Amino acid sequence: MLNINDLAPDFTLQGSDLKEHSLQEFRGKKVVLYFYPKDNTSGCSKEAVMFNELKEQFEKENAVIIGVSKDSLASHKKFIDNYSLSFLLLSDPEQEVIKAYDVLREKSMYGRKYLGVLRSTFVISEEGKILLADYGCKATESPKTVCRLLLK
Protein backbone atom coordinates (compact mmCIF):
# COMPACT_ATOMS: atom_id res chain seq x y z
CA MET A 1 0.00 0.00 0.00
CA LEU A 2 1.34 3.43 -0.89
CA ASN A 3 1.29 6.21 1.69
CA ILE A 4 1.55 9.98 1.74
CA ASN A 5 5.12 11.16 1.00
CA ASP A 6 6.07 7.86 -0.70
CA LEU A 7 7.67 8.24 -4.10
CA ALA A 8 5.05 7.36 -6.71
CA PRO A 9 6.01 4.32 -8.81
CA ASP A 10 7.01 5.39 -12.32
CA PHE A 11 5.44 3.70 -15.31
CA THR A 12 5.15 3.76 -19.07
CA LEU A 13 1.79 2.87 -20.67
CA GLN A 14 -0.05 3.41 -23.95
CA GLY A 15 -2.49 6.29 -23.85
CA SER A 16 -5.83 6.98 -25.44
CA ASP A 17 -3.96 9.45 -27.69
CA LEU A 18 -2.02 6.43 -29.09
CA LYS A 19 1.26 7.63 -27.52
CA GLU A 20 3.34 6.14 -24.74
CA HIS A 21 3.26 8.09 -21.48
CA SER A 22 5.35 7.84 -18.34
CA LEU A 23 4.85 9.50 -14.98
CA GLN A 24 8.23 11.21 -15.46
CA GLU A 25 6.92 13.33 -18.33
CA PHE A 26 4.50 15.05 -15.95
CA ARG A 27 7.18 16.21 -13.47
CA GLY A 28 6.56 19.85 -12.61
CA LYS A 29 2.79 19.25 -12.54
CA LYS A 30 0.53 17.62 -10.00
CA VAL A 31 -0.94 14.38 -11.31
CA VAL A 32 -4.38 13.11 -10.40
CA LEU A 33 -3.94 9.42 -11.17
CA TYR A 34 -7.09 7.42 -10.74
CA PHE A 35 -7.63 3.72 -11.22
CA TYR A 36 -11.05 2.40 -12.14
CA PRO A 37 -12.46 -1.07 -12.84
CA LYS A 38 -14.00 -0.84 -16.31
CA ASP A 39 -14.87 1.56 -19.13
CA ASN A 40 -18.53 2.37 -19.76
CA THR A 41 -19.89 0.98 -16.49
CA SER A 42 -22.21 3.01 -14.32
CA GLY A 43 -19.87 4.03 -11.49
CA CYS A 44 -16.83 4.46 -13.70
CA SER A 45 -18.78 6.62 -16.13
CA LYS A 46 -20.07 8.88 -13.33
CA GLU A 47 -16.55 9.25 -11.93
CA ALA A 48 -15.04 10.07 -15.33
CA VAL A 49 -17.74 12.65 -16.10
CA MET A 50 -17.16 14.33 -12.72
CA PHE A 51 -13.40 14.45 -13.28
CA ASN A 52 -14.04 15.86 -16.75
CA GLU A 53 -16.28 18.59 -15.33
CA LEU A 54 -13.58 19.59 -12.82
CA LYS A 55 -10.71 19.48 -15.33
CA GLU A 56 -10.43 23.25 -15.74
CA GLN A 57 -10.22 23.75 -11.97
CA PHE A 58 -7.49 21.12 -11.77
CA GLU A 59 -5.57 22.77 -14.60
CA LYS A 60 -5.67 26.10 -12.72
CA GLU A 61 -3.90 24.27 -9.90
CA ASN A 62 -1.25 22.93 -12.32
CA ALA A 63 -2.72 19.42 -12.22
CA VAL A 64 -3.45 16.85 -14.94
CA ILE A 65 -6.00 14.05 -14.73
CA ILE A 66 -5.05 10.55 -15.87
CA GLY A 67 -7.33 7.53 -15.68
CA VAL A 68 -5.97 3.97 -15.70
CA SER A 69 -7.75 0.67 -16.27
CA LYS A 70 -6.89 -2.67 -17.82
CA ASP A 71 -9.24 -1.93 -20.75
CA SER A 72 -7.91 -1.80 -24.30
CA LEU A 73 -7.24 1.39 -26.23
CA ALA A 74 -10.28 0.61 -28.41
CA SER A 75 -12.44 0.41 -25.29
CA HIS A 76 -10.95 3.69 -24.03
CA LYS A 77 -11.80 5.36 -27.34
CA LYS A 78 -15.46 4.32 -27.04
CA PHE A 79 -15.53 5.50 -23.43
CA ILE A 80 -14.05 8.88 -24.36
CA ASP A 81 -16.46 9.25 -27.29
CA ASN A 82 -19.51 8.22 -25.24
CA TYR A 83 -18.85 10.80 -22.53
CA SER A 84 -16.82 13.49 -24.38
CA LEU A 85 -13.90 12.99 -22.00
CA SER A 86 -11.03 15.41 -22.48
CA PHE A 87 -8.31 13.82 -20.38
CA LEU A 88 -5.85 11.00 -20.90
CA LEU A 89 -6.76 7.37 -20.28
CA LEU A 90 -4.00 4.79 -20.03
CA SER A 91 -4.33 1.11 -20.87
CA ASP A 92 -2.71 -1.38 -18.47
CA PRO A 93 -3.72 -4.80 -19.88
CA GLU A 94 -0.83 -6.57 -18.13
CA GLN A 95 -1.84 -4.84 -14.86
CA GLU A 96 1.77 -3.90 -14.06
CA VAL A 97 0.93 -0.36 -12.93
CA ILE A 98 -2.25 -1.55 -11.25
CA LYS A 99 -0.09 -3.92 -9.18
CA ALA A 100 2.63 -1.30 -8.55
CA TYR A 101 0.01 1.00 -7.00
CA ASP A 102 -1.44 -1.95 -5.06
CA VAL A 103 -4.98 -1.60 -6.42
CA LEU A 104 -5.45 -5.19 -7.66
CA ARG A 105 -7.60 -6.81 -4.99
CA GLU A 106 -9.80 -9.83 -4.42
CA LYS A 107 -13.43 -8.96 -5.04
CA SER A 108 -16.64 -10.90 -4.84
CA MET A 109 -19.76 -10.74 -7.00
CA TYR A 110 -22.69 -13.12 -6.62
CA GLY A 111 -20.51 -15.33 -4.43
CA ARG A 112 -17.77 -15.61 -7.08
CA LYS A 113 -14.33 -14.38 -6.05
CA TYR A 114 -12.04 -12.75 -8.59
CA LEU A 115 -9.17 -10.26 -8.83
CA GLY A 116 -10.22 -6.79 -9.89
CA VAL A 117 -9.23 -3.15 -9.70
CA LEU A 118 -10.06 -1.39 -6.46
CA ARG A 119 -11.26 2.10 -7.36
CA SER A 120 -8.48 4.33 -6.04
CA THR A 121 -7.19 7.84 -6.57
CA PHE A 122 -3.72 9.24 -6.04
CA VAL A 123 -2.56 12.83 -6.15
CA ILE A 124 1.13 13.06 -6.97
CA SER A 125 3.20 16.19 -6.35
CA GLU A 126 5.28 18.04 -8.91
CA GLU A 127 8.30 16.16 -7.52
CA GLY A 128 6.67 12.73 -7.76
CA LYS A 129 5.60 12.20 -4.15
CA ILE A 130 2.20 10.91 -3.07
CA LEU A 131 0.00 13.69 -1.62
CA LEU A 132 -3.16 11.56 -1.45
CA ALA A 133 -3.64 7.79 -1.56
CA ASP A 134 -7.38 7.12 -1.50
CA TYR A 135 -7.90 3.36 -1.73
CA GLY A 136 -11.44 2.09 -2.20
CA CYS A 137 -12.90 5.53 -2.84
CA LYS A 138 -16.46 6.11 -3.99
CA ALA A 139 -16.95 6.96 -7.67
CA THR A 140 -18.97 10.10 -6.99
CA GLU A 141 -16.82 11.30 -4.06
CA SER A 142 -13.29 10.89 -5.40
CA PRO A 143 -13.33 13.86 -7.83
CA LYS A 144 -14.70 16.16 -5.10
CA THR A 145 -12.13 14.95 -2.56
CA VAL A 146 -9.29 15.66 -4.99
CA CYS A 147 -10.72 19.07 -5.84
CA ARG A 148 -10.89 20.04 -2.15
CA LEU A 149 -7.28 18.92 -1.67
CA LEU A 150 -5.99 20.88 -4.66
CA LEU A 151 -7.94 24.04 -3.83
CA LYS A 152 -6.66 24.27 -0.22
Catalytic positions are 44
Q: How many CA atoms lie within 13 A of 111 on its CB side?
A: 0
Q: How many CA atoms lie within 13 A of 67 on its CB side?
A: 34
Chain Cα centroid distance, residue 130: 13
CA-to-CA distance for 45 and 40, rounded, in angstroms? 6
CA-to-CA distance for 34 and 89, rounded, in angstroms? 10
